[in-house]
Chain A
Amino acid sequence: MKPQNLIALLLFIVGAVWALTRSERSVRNIQSTYYRAISPFLKGGAAIETKASEFIQEVEHSKALEMKYKLAKEELDQKRMEVAHLRKLEAENTHLNQALKFQENIPFHVLAAKIIRRQPSTWWHTVTIDRGDKHGVGVQLPVLSPEGLVGKIDAPSKDTSTVILLTDEKCQVSAKVEGTPEAGIISGLRDTAEESPSLLLRFLSKDANLKPGMLVFTTGRGGLFPPDILLGTIKTFAPGPLYGEALVEPAVDFTTLQTVFVKIPKPLTSAREIGAATANSTKK
């Protein structure tokens, strides 16, 4: 081996060992810097993606209409398009109203956030939202939707945050089954399908009397999630040698999720607070 290559190899090994031995805090700082650098691109990309998806939907819709109503008059098509557009607006309005009601009715402070990127990595079930440090979002904060628990904040940066979804194996939640004394830990499955995910509720009694359809809620223990947030419904129960395990169907439809709510300690109301939070996130 050439001396130049040998030196490069040694330097590489030193660099790799340095990277592998970084503490959790250092890794968080690196990630925060990285996401701060790419967040303008993420937001821009999300806007382009939304426009492209709307355009594709529009094209698909137009094609379907063309095939189905080939002989219909142009005026009729136009009316239908208008109705479709109004229905879309109506659906959006209903969705926003639900979100608003949810935000008003829950007993803690939440911050609405929009999902700007889905499933950015190969193996982890994560999404990126358009709220970060400067909006008061911190690590490990619960993320909710009107249907139930979505997950928790994994890596907040200045403008955006990564949310680890409930369907990921690493997102563990202390859970209880309604109407029974059963409690355990629920998490995603490693090999679960994104379009129809299942959750695994472990550490139940081996003789637990669980039936399909029973509701599963958070216990509030463990210091991460508030109590009584819906997680899903029991699908099947299998007793094991020591503990019982149940498959749970999540309450949230993760494929259509667009708006989520981050539970924050208190809302940032004044411009001064937002400024201070921004300055803190910049210092980090």
Chain B
Amino acid sequence: MVQQFLPAIGSLFGARILILPLVFLCCSACVSFSSMLVLAFICGFLWDAQHTLGAQGGDPNIYTDPVESLRFGYSIILYAMMGLLMQFIQPLFRKAKWHISSILAGIAIFSYLFTEYLLLNFIRGDFTFPPRVLYRIYLTSALTMLFSPLIFWIIHQLASSCRHNIRYEGLRQKHRYID
């Protein structure tokens, strides 16, 4: 719901704060692998429900070259990939290196938008990557990243108020943890 009230900033190449992906990323760093997949499915589903465009429509004899769109459901896969990235750095939380997770959240958002734009180019053909697109991706990632400590703090406050212990098990075995 909060995402609905965050408009694009025209003066920053249309960059915006992506709250839903950020909350998902921060949660991904705090929950188990299976919970992360459930979250990825829900968030990706909601994201696509809001953003997927419909078919071209009109007379196919006139509109002979319809422009394709990304299929409903693609975000579920992209969210899962971002979540996987965050799962690998769970052990850093135990070492109280939350700032690395914040930076990684920014990197994950950058990768997500970059992949999304590449997919768009792939299905529509005619590859273009102007500087303004790079600026938009970069500024969106940077703006979103700035809010990640706040989201992490809220998650921890919620966990402590519910007396829930975040275990940060990650995907790997203990002896393989990144220190």
Encoded as 1 (CB less than 8 Å from any A CB) or 0, chain B from 131 to 143 comes to 0110010001000
Separation in Å of the B73 CB from the closest CB of chain A?
Answer: 3
Instruction: Report chain A residues within 8 Å CB of B14.
Output: 119, 122, 194
| Cβ contact within 8 Å between B120 and A123 | yes
Encoded as 1 (CB less than 8 Å from any A CB) or 0, chain B from 55 to 87 comes to 111110011011101011110110010000000
| Cβ contact within 8 Å between B37 and A172 | no
Separation in Å of the B38 CB from the closest CB of chain A?
Answer: 7
| Cβ contact within 8 Å between B53 and A19 | no
Most buried by A among B63, B77, B117: B63
Set B1, B7, B72: member contacting A118, Cβ < 8 A: B7
Encoded as 1 (CB less than 8 Å from any B CB) or 0, chain A from 129 to 157 comes to 00000000001100000000000101100
| Cβ contact within 8 Å between A122 and B63 | no
Closest to A2 in B: B33
Query: Given the interface contacts A19-B72, A20-B72, does A172 sit within 8 Å of B10 by beta carbon?
Result: no
| Cβ contact within 8 Å between B116 and A8 | no
**A48: interface (CB < 8 Å):** yes
Jot down 7 A-B pairs with beta carbons below 8 A, ordered by A: A9-B37, A18-B73, A20-B73, A27-B72, A42-B4, A123-B116, A193-B132
Residues of A within 8 A of B (CB): 2, 4-5, 7-9, 11-12, 15-16, 18-22, 24, 27-28, 30-31, 33-35, 38, 41-42, 45, 48-49, 117-124, 126, 139-140, 152, 154-155, 164, 169-170, 172, 174, 185, 187, 190-191, 193-195, 221-224, 255
